[in-house]
Each structure stands twice: as structure tokens, then as C-alpha cells.
Structure 1
Amino acid sequence: MVVTMDVFQGFSIHVEPKNKQQNGVYSLILSGPAALSVGGDADGVMLDESATSALPAGEYDYYLIFTSDAGSRQIVEQDRLTVRSAPGAVTDVRSFAECALSALEAVLTNQATFEQQSFSIAGRTLQSRSLSELVNLRTSLRNEVAREKATREGRPVIASSPIIFKN
């Protein structure tokens, strides 16, 4: 069972094993948007404020490793750690669809910056499309944003398909 723990950047967290072992020490390895290895003691591992401040926000897998006094090593726990942006930090928490919709609507209303007229998000690029293509993409992105919002608010997600008008 994976249990997600949360920590804010700049805050400390003490990771303790669920079942402590005797005659050895613990260490912690984080794998995610960044990698980190931290030594601990017989009670667990402390990620202090400086360690969490240096981690980019995101999801990490963590491995709690026990090293016995005899030198044998074993992974005693594997869980998930979510590092959240520090409270009050300026971050863009919008989804890909929300960011793309915002940039696309700026293009459609002629308020786009030079960068928005041809933009890339997560490896996807949009540039020089016909008006009908842009309007269809906007409809698709609006539907995706509505589904994301419904999911966040715990409302049922209603599948929708675009309505195509023909003369």
C-alpha cells in the first residue's frame, strides 16, 4: 500500500519506519523531479528545511533503507512523498489545458504577446492555425477544463462531444 506524505518546501519532516529495526541506521532516497539521498540515524531520517527548500515541487517516490551494523542493506519502506510549494509562493498551478486555453484565447482576441502567437507547453507547439482550427481547439480545451473542474469539485463528469454545425 502506498501512503502519500506531504511536505511544504522550507518545512522539515521526519520519516520514521513503521516497524523499527535494531542495530543499524536508516537512510532515505528520493526519486522524482529531483533526486536526493539523506542519511539518518536509528530512529529514521530528518529532511530539514534546507533539504525541502532545494526540492522542486512535485511527486517523489521515496525508499527508506535500513543498513545494519553488519553492513547489509534492505529497503524497508517504499512510499510516495509530495513536495508542495511553500505557502505564499508565487506558482502557476493551472493544468496544461488551462494554460493552453488561456494562451489560445489571447490569440483569438488579438491580445497575444509575440511568444503566445507561437507557443509550446509540455512539448506541444501551436502556431499559425486557421480560425476554424483555433475555435475547434478552444472548444476542446474548454471541455477538458470543465471536466478537470468537475473532477476537482467532486461532481460527476459528463462526457461531451463537440457539436458540428453544417450549412
Structure 2
Amino acid sequence: MNRLLFFFGLLGLTLANFSIHGFVGESESNAKSVLEQHLKEFQEMIQKGDKNVLKKIIPNENQTDSLLDALIQKHRSIKMEVKEAEYSKNGSKEDINGKVYYSKNGGQKVNVFVTIKKESQSPSGYRFVAATNQPSNKRKFPTCAVGFIWCYLYLIDILPGSF
């Protein structure tokens, strides 16, 4: 009887530990896999030059065909690797914040802090909200003053190996 109680007690502690630690880790890895999938689809649309889909993945203010052409041309040699990602702190799964390593032509990696938000029209189910080279404790607003594409192109231009 004591062995049975010990076994069930041990089983209960194991399950409690898994439910506390396992689901938190699962949530973080899920956010990471969602961000990885979004970046993969973004890169595929860049490679295809599919401006119609890109318009659904990135913020739509100040979008012009010439800016999208510049984005496509400059982003083709970019490699992206998600270092970490998490859902927003408010418990919602609407926003994902992540640290992504960007590198150009296999050069030095640069941290880019990316925020994506749920978007039903996007093939990945998400859309870029912000991409900055510095973390922010404030809410990440959609873009810098000149528009998402301009800011994104600037980030690409300052990557090591761009000069």
C-alpha cells in the first residue's frame, strides 16, 4: 500500500512539474515555430518576387511597387534565424516578439527585434508590425516615421557585409 501511495505521489509530482514547466516551454517553442514559419514564407515570397502576397505580410502604409522591388532585390541575400520568440506579455497569442539573427551573404549576424501580429489575410496568419535593431520596452508601433519598408531597407543596408 505504501509503495502504491509513493508511486502515485511521485507520478503526481512529475505531472505537476510537467504542467508547470512543460507548457511554458511548449508555448515559447510554439511562438518560435510560428515566427520561423512566418519568416520562411516571407523569404519564399521575396524569392518569388510576389508583391501581392508581400503586401499582406508587411504593413501597408507607404507601399509602392518601387519600394517593394527594392525590398525584394535587397532581401534576397539575407539569411534569418530565429534565436528566441515569445507571445506578448498580456497573455494573448495575437502578437509575437522575437529576436532574429540576420546575416547578409553569410557575414556577421546582427540581432533584429521583430514583432508580428495575427492577420487573417496573410498566408502565414501573421503580419510584420515592427523590425528594429534595438529592443524596446514600449509598445512597438507599426513603423518608424518614414514607413516600414524604408526602415526595413535601412536595417538591411547596415548589416555587416553590405558595404
Q: Normalized against structure 2, the TM-score is what?
A: 0.28
Higher helix share: 2
Q: Which has the larger radius of gyration?
A: 1
Q: In proportion to residue count, which structure has more strand?
A: 1
